[in-house]
C-alpha cells in the first residue's frame, strides 16, 4: 500500500513553490486560491522571505495549497491512504475526497488567521523536548502547567503553554532530555487556541462533505476515519487537541504501508519516519516530492506500491480518547448501554487551565467506560468505547 503525506507548519522554505509555477495552469489556480484564503499565495510561495512565510496566518493556507498543487500531477486513484501533520490534515482530507480543494483552502485561511489572533491574546510558546524517558517527560510537561501539543515520534514531544511554563521547563529539563525552543507565535494545539477552534467550527459547519474514498488517518489518535462529517469535526477539534503523529506512523506500519510520498515542502515527515523506523524491516520506500523534477520518481513509486482499497467502515466499535492530560469526569446521566450522537459531549477533562470537553466522533451505543470519574488521564488515553456505529 502507498501513502501520500502532507506536511505541516515549520516545513516551509522561501521560494519553494517557484518551480511549480512553470507548470501550465498553476499560477492561475494559485490566484483563485489566494482569493479564497485571503493571502497572496503566489507571492508567498515565490518571493516572500523566511520571516514573512512563518506568519501563521500566511503559512497555513500556503502549505495546504502546495500539497494540493503537487497532488494534481499524481495518479491519486492508485493511492491507498492519505494523512497530514497538523494543518496538513486539511490537504489530506481533500485528497481523500472528504472536502473540495477550495473548501480546504478556505478553511486553512480561517484556521491560520484565527490561530494567529488567539496567539496574540496572551504570551505563550512551544518547545521541543528531545530525548529522556517518555513518562518523565510527560510528567515534567504537566508539572509546569504545559500541554504535550505534539508527540511526533519516540523521543520527541513538543510542550506548549504559557511562556513562564516554557521558561521553567527549560530551566529544569527532564533527565537526559534537552529543550529546544520553537520560533512560533504561540501555543498551538492547546486550550489556548479555543477561540480559533470556535471560529473554525462556525465556518466548517456549512461545508458539504463526503465520506473518504481511501483510508484517511486522524492526528487525534492515528485511526482511519470512515465518515466525512466525523473527520471535519476532528479537523476543527485538532486546533486545540494534541497532534499524535507518532500514532499515525504506527498505523502506517500496522497497515503494511510499503511506499510513502511526502508532498511539498517535503523532508520533515520523511525524517521522522526514518528516525522512528531506523534499522527496521518495516521502513517504507520514500519519495520526497519538492519540485516537478521529482514527479517521475513519485509516479514510479505509485506504480510499484499503489493500491486503492475503497474505505468501508468495518470496525465494530470506536474508542474516544482523552484530548489532554488531566482528571476525567463522564457526563451526568450517560450510562453504558445508552445512545450517543455524533458530536455529543460525553464528559470533560479538568486541566490546570480549564475543563476540556470530550465529544463522541461517531454516534452509536456507549458499550463500555474505559475511564471513570476523577480518573487521571493522559493525552490519547482511551476513555469510552462506542459500538453500533452510525454514519
Where do the domains of the chain lie, and which CATH numbers do they carry? 2-118+191-305 (3.40.366.10), 121-181 (3.30.70.250), 317-387 (2.40.50.100)
Residue 83, pLDDT above cutoff 70: yes
pLDDT of 313 strictly over 80: no
* Residues 114 and 127: beta-carbon distance below 8 Å: no
Q: What is the dihedral of CA 236, 252, 387, 373, to 10 degrees?
A: -70
Concerning whether 144 is annotated as a catalytic residue, the answer is no
Start-to-end CA distance of the chain, whole Å, equals: 26
* Residues 155-168, mean pLDDT to the nearest whole number: 94
Query: Is it the case that residue 312 has pLDDT exceeding 60?
Result: no
DSSP-derived pairing of the beta strands 364-369 and 382-387: antiparallel
What's the pLDDT score for residue 354?
Answer: 78
Point out the catalytic residue in the list 6, 67, 86, 218. 86
Share of the chain above pLDDT 90, in %: 72
Q: What is the mean pLDDT of residues 236-244?
A: 94
269 neighbors 252 (Cβ within 8 angstroms): no
The pLDDT of residue 389:
60
Q: Is 67 a catalytic residue?
A: no
Q: How confident is the model at residue 316 (pLDDT cuts 50, 70, 90)?
A: low
User: What Å distances lie between residue 333 and 330, 336, 386, CA to CA?
Assistant: 9, 10, 16
Question: What pLDDT does 362 receive?
Answer: 74
Pick left, alpha or beta for residue 222 (phi over 0 → left; psi -120 to 50 → alpha; otherwise beta).
left
Which grid cell sits at 281?
Answer: 524491516
**Average pLDDT for 182-194:** 92
pLDDT of residue 145: 94
Instruction: Give residue 218's pLDDT.
Output: 93
Query: Which distant-in-sequence residues (6+ apart) come within 8 Å of 188 by Cβ?
Result: 9, 86, 115, 126, 149, 160, 239
* CA dihedral angle for residue 291, residue 96, residue 299, residue 41, rounded to 10 degrees: -20
What's the pLDDT tens digit per position in 327-336?
999 999 898 8
> Does the pLDDT of residue 310 top 60, yes or no?
no
DSSP code for 174? P
Question: What gap in Å lies between CA 356 and CA 232, rounded to an integer?
Answer: 19
Report whether pLDDT(220) > 60.
Answer: yes
Q: Residue 122 has what pLDDT?
A: 93
Does the pLDDT value for residue 315 go beyond 60? no
Confidence band of 168 (pLDDT split at 50, 70, 90): very high
Round the average pLDDT of the chain to a whole number and report it.
Answer: 91
Per-residue pLDDT at 254: 85
Report residue 190 as a C-alpha cell.
492547546
Instruction: Pick the catalytic residue from 85, 147, 189, 361.
Output: 189
Q: Give the pLDDT band of residue 386 (cuts 50, 70, 90).
A: confident
Confidence class of residue 256 from pLDDT cuts 50, 70 and 90?
A: confident
pLDDT of residue 309 exceeding 60, the answer is: no
Give the pLDDT score at 297. Answer: 97
Q: What would the DSSP string read from start to end of 329-384?
A: EEPTT--TT-EE-TT-EEEEEE-SS--EEEE-SS-EEEEEESS-TTEEE-TT-EEE
pLDDT in tens, 13-52: 999 999 999 999 999 999 999 999 999 999 999 999 999 9
Lowest mean pLDDT among 179-188, 195-204, 307-316, 342-351: 307-316
What is the pLDDT at residue 63?
97
> Residue 390's pLDDT band (boundaries 50, 70, 90)?
low
Q: What is the pLDDT of residue 95?
A: 97
Higher pLDDT, residue 56 or 254: 56
Amino acid at each position: 500500500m502507498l501513502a501520500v503525506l502532507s506536511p505541516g507548519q515549520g516545513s516551509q522554505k522561501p521560494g519553494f513553490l517557484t518551480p511549480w509555477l512553470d507548470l501550465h495552469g498553476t499560477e492561475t489556480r494559485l490566484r483563485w486560491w489566494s482569493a479564497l484564503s485571503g493571502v497572496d499565495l503566489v507571492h508567498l510561495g515565490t518571493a516572500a522571505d523566511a520571516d514573512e512565510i512563518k506568519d501563521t496566518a500566511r503559512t497555513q493556507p500556503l502549505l495546504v495549497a502546495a500539497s494540493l498543487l503537487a497532488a494534481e500531477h499524481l495518479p491519486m486513484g492508485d493511492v491507498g491512504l492519505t494523512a497530514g501533520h497538523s494543518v496538513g490534515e486539511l490537504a489530506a482530507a481533500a485528497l481523500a475526497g472528504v472536502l473540495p480543494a477550495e473548501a480546504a483552502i478556505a478553511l486553512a485561511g480561517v484556521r491560520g488567521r484565527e490561530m494567529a489572533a488567539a496567539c496574540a491574546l496572551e504570551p505563550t510558546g512551544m518547545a521541543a523536548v528531545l530525548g529522556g524517558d517518555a513518562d518523565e517527560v510527560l510528567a515534567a510537561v504537566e508539572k509546569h502547567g504545559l500541554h504535550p501539543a505534539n508527540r511526533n515520534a519516540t523521543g520527541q514531544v513538543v510542550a506548549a503553554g504559557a511562556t513562564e511554563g516554557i521558561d521553567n521547563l527549560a530551566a529544569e529539563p527532564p533527565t537526559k532530555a534537552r529543550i529546544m525552543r520553537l520560533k512560533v507565535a504561540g501555543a498551538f494545539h492547546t486550550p489556548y487556541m479555543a477561540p480559533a477552534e470556535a471560529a473554525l467550527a462556525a465556518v466548517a459547519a456549512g461545508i458539504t462533505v463526503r465520506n473518504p474514498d481511501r483510508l484517511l488517518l486522524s492526528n487525534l489518535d492515528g485511526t482511519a476515519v470512515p465518515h466525512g462529517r466525523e473527520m471535519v469535526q476532528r479537523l476543527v477539534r485538532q486546533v486545540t487537541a494534541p497532534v499524535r503523529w507518532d500514532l499515525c506512523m504506527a498505523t502506517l506500519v500496522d497497515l503494511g504501508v510499503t511506499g510513502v510520498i511526502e508532498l511539498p515542502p517535503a523532508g520533515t515527515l520523511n525524517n521522522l519516519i526514518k528516525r522512528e523506523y531506523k534499522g527496521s524491516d518495516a521502513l517504507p520506500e520514500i519519495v520526497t516530492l519538492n519540485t516537478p523534477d521529482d514527479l517521475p520518481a513519485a509516479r514510479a513509486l505509485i506504480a510499484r506500491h499503489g493500491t486503492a482499497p475503497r474505505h468501508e467502515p468495518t470496525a465494530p466499535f470506536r474508542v474516544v480518547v482523552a484530548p489532554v492530560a488531566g482528571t476525567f469526569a463522564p457526563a451526568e446521566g450517560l450510562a453504558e448501554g445508552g445512545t450517543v450522537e455524533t458530536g455529543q459531549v460525553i464528559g470533560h477533562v479538568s486541566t490546570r487551565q480549564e475543563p476540556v470537553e470530550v465529544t463522541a466522533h461517531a454516534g452509536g451505543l456507549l458499550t463500555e467506560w474505559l475511564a471513570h470519574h476523577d480518573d487521571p488521564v493522559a493525552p490519547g488515553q482511551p476513555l469510552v468505547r462506542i459500538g453500533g456505529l452510525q454514519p
